[in-house]
A and B are shown apart, each in its own frame.
Chain A
Amino acid sequence: MQLQPPGFAGTVFLLANRELGARLRSPWLYAVASLICLIAFFYGGGFRRSFETETVLVTTDPLAALNVMVMAVLAGVLGLRLATSIAWEREHRTLEVLLAGPVSPEAILAAKFAGEIVVLAMLTVTHIAYLLLAQPLGPGVIGPADAAAIGRMPLHALPLLALGLLVSTWAKTVRGAVMAYLSILALLIVHEIVLAALTAQSPQDLSLAGAWVRRILTAADTVIDPLSAVARIADLTTGLSVQTPLTPAQTGMALALTAATLAAAALALRARGAS
């Protein structure tokens, strides 16, 4: 009897299944699930508190800010998990074993990424289920259509997950990967926040230094924005301020950035190898 090695898809499926099994046995998944439910709980508390002094609120979607918050947390945490994934394998010499066998670097990356996408989907479903079941904003306030309004938002978390994977392919140790991922994340977040804060101010209220910084950041943003995973999360917050739904072009941009980052991760892993 001759054994046939599984193809690319089969390998990815097997590895992803192994990854997912490990995730499901890990307490952090349940901790993150509880964390996002608690975020919704406290957000609902804030919503309720506003009705202690006011009687009316007008909004297109009371969950919009919550959904953005939850997606940002999930993207950050899952991206961090992926940032440690390959680095952990490298640090513990298991990557060497995998690459020595009939497993391509692309299959390893695809499996890690697919496993995390399933986790992202599970946590998103947990968030929706919590909103419908616990009704944190008050009984009947959240209908199925409101909960489903999260729509394409999880797709905007993917570039950050891919960024984590890219960092992991290059890092030698888990510690190095975590530091690199958090540093890049912090820089991108600071850029987005400062630019958004300066853009939100009217020119009359802006100091000359503020106007100068805004000009610099706006110029830099033309380069940073298409490459920034945080900007794809920020697209969700832009929707909040303009009260319009996400455009397919914005989501398309998030998917394109994910694909490009994964391709870069594959190249980096091939170049770096197990060492």
Chain B
Amino acid sequence: MTALRLILVLLIAVLARPTAAIEPEQREVTVISARVWEGHEYRETFAPSTHRDFVLMAGRDSAIAFVRTLEYYWPLSRQVYVDFKQQRDVLEGELVIRQGGREIAREKLRPFSVHYPHGAVRGEAELLWGEDAERGYSEFQENERRFVREFAAARRAHTEYERRLLEAARNQKPGEPPERIPPPPPLPEPSLRLVTQPQPGFRVMLAPGEYTLVLEQEGHPLPGTERRLRVVEAPERRELIADIVPEERWTRPLASNAPAARVYVRGGATFYMTLHEAGSFAETDYLPVVRPQAEAMPGRRIWVRRGPADTERLAVAWQGGGSTDLARAALKVEQTRGSSFGYRVRPAKGGERPDLDAFIVAAPEDASVRRGTVGTLDARFEREIIVVHPRKAAFALLIALAPIAGFLLWRLASMWQRPS
């Protein structure tokens, strides 16, 4: 038996082939690497070598660079990627921008940095160019070094303070008053300000319209750098959008982005509403800016969330049922006891971290109340609420059958009235 097993193992070992790794084929190409303005913040993106069209948003400057790199197609996501870690050679030259065949700008390659005054997470940023970028980055580095020094010194003072406290406690004799040791200064607060390391790029800030781009070296266009550029308008006004959180599915909010998106609610039910600031764009304008390889649906709008709204009060008015003001409430979701699923939503207690910071909207159970509105006091946001009560099914079915039934009755009546 052992011999048989041994033979089988040897047979499998002989027949087995080594598995080939799936490594995509890489090719050296020229792509556009960019820091693009998307109406609220800067995003890092790239346009593959096969994309002849490139889209930017007006309103702020964006930074682009033509880069020789390794590009590959990844079948799992059906997208093209670049390996900037292995190769990222920025092409020197002048960026020539034309509109209708006429040259309108010629940009030189300059160092640029992204300056986040309140931290990268907040999103608010600006591009620094040339000397400003170098100086900004040096200042940022100096500030960081100073902070590290100050923090280390403060940390040492705290350690020393703790050591002295312990020593005083050990040396204290019964009946003696405790030694007073002055506390150290508090630890310094870190600055959220960030300036990225300068890197070369071309500054592009154009009015909305159609353009062409090309990189020229010594007056000659560099093959593979010609692109069509479309600059789209950034929305000037932010919108308020809502998330409707059903009481039975609190982890699955329903988005009410468009003003026409109405809320249909069962009579007597409660839902929670959170408001968000958002920028609204045509999908065909926004997606090509931030994700050049994504497929945008013509005619569809996209709402890009910028953060929670600071609205504190909402007004709810029910048709024939009066109106009330709602205050935003901090809510806690508490699991109910037992082995089965279940939870209840209750106001968060002091010190508790709320799970929801929302307005509580309760639909009336009264069947005579069928519609209402909820909105901000300044009318910046409003949504219609429709209360769904049980329908009269038998009546609705009878009415549906009325046309054919009426015709048949009419035919029968005609037959009876007809002389034999």
Contacts and interface: CB of A to CB of B under 8 A. Distances in A.
Interface of A: 27, 29-31, 33-34, 37-38, 40-41, 44-45, 48, 51, 53-62, 126, 130, 133-141, 143, 203-204, 206, 211, 238, 241-244, 247
Interface residues of B, number: 54
Contacts of A31: 403-404
Contacts of B269: 55-56
Contacts of A44: 391, 396
B265 interface: yes
Nearest to A24: B407
B266 A55 contact: yes
A139 B299 contact: no
A138 B266 CA distance: 10
Nearest to A142: B386
A62 B264 contact: yes
A110 to B, nearest CB: 28
Contacts of A37: 399-403
A30 B299 contact: no
Nearest to B243: A58
A243 B300 contact: yes
B50 to A, nearest CB: 14
Contacts of B386: 140-141
B389 A140 contact: yes
Contacts of A62: 264
Contact of B400 (A34, A57, A140): A34
B350 to A, nearest CB: 30
A201 to B, nearest CB: 11
B149 interface: no
A136 B299 CA distance: 31
B265 A242 contact: no
Given A58-B254, A59-B262, 17 more contacts: A33-B404, A34-B400, A40-B400, A48-B388, A55-B271, A57-B254, A61-B260, A137-B388, A139-B367, A139-B370, A140-B370, A143-B371, A204-B77, A206-B78, A238-B299, A242-B297, A243-B258
Contacts of A242: 297-300
Per DSSP, chain B at the interface is mixed
A59 B264 contact: yes
Nearest to A250: B299
B392 interface: yes
**What are the 5 A-B residue pairs with the smallest beta carbon separation, nearest first?**
A140-B370, A37-B400, A55-B269, A33-B403, A30-B407
Interface in B249-290: 249, 254-256, 258, 260-266, 269-271
Contact of B399 (A134, A137, A243): A134
Given A56-B244, A59-B264, A140-B389, A34 B403 contact: yes
B299 A41 contact: no
A61 B295 CA distance: 26
Interface of B: 76-79, 244, 246-249, 254-256, 258, 260-266, 269-271, 295, 297-301, 367, 370-371, 386-393, 395-397, 399-408, 411
Contacts of A139: 367, 370, 389, 391-392
B397 A41 contact: yes
26 contacts: A33-B404, A34-B400, A38-B401, A40-B400, A48-B388, A51-B266, A54-B246, A58-B254, A59-B261, A59-B264, A60-B262, A134-B400, A135-B392, A136-B391, A137-B388, A137-B391, A138-B389, A140-B370, A140-B371, A140-B386, A141-B386, A141-B388, A203-B77, A203-B295, A211-B78, A244-B299
Nearest to A58: B254
Nearest to B367: A139
Contacts of A135: 391-392, 396
Contacts of A241: 297, 300
Given A58-B264, A242-B297, A203 B388 contact: no
A61 B386 CA distance: 12
A141 B264 contact: yes
Contacts of B392: 135, 139
Contacts of B247: 55
B263 A58 contact: yes
B78 A38 contact: no
Nearest to A203: B78
Contacts of A56: 244, 246, 254, 263-266, 269, 271
B254 A244 contact: no
Contacts of B264: 51, 56-59, 62, 141
B246 A60 contact: no
A240 to B, nearest CB: 11
A225 to B, nearest CB: 13
A30 B255 CA distance: 41
A34 B396 CA distance: 12
A60 B388 contact: no
Given A54-B246, A60-B262, A247-B299, A34 B370 contact: no
Nearest to A48: B391
Contacts of B370: 139-141
B394 to A, nearest CB: 10
Contact of A30 (B246, B256, B406): B406
A148 to B, nearest CB: 14
Nearest to A211: B78
A55 B199 CA distance: 53
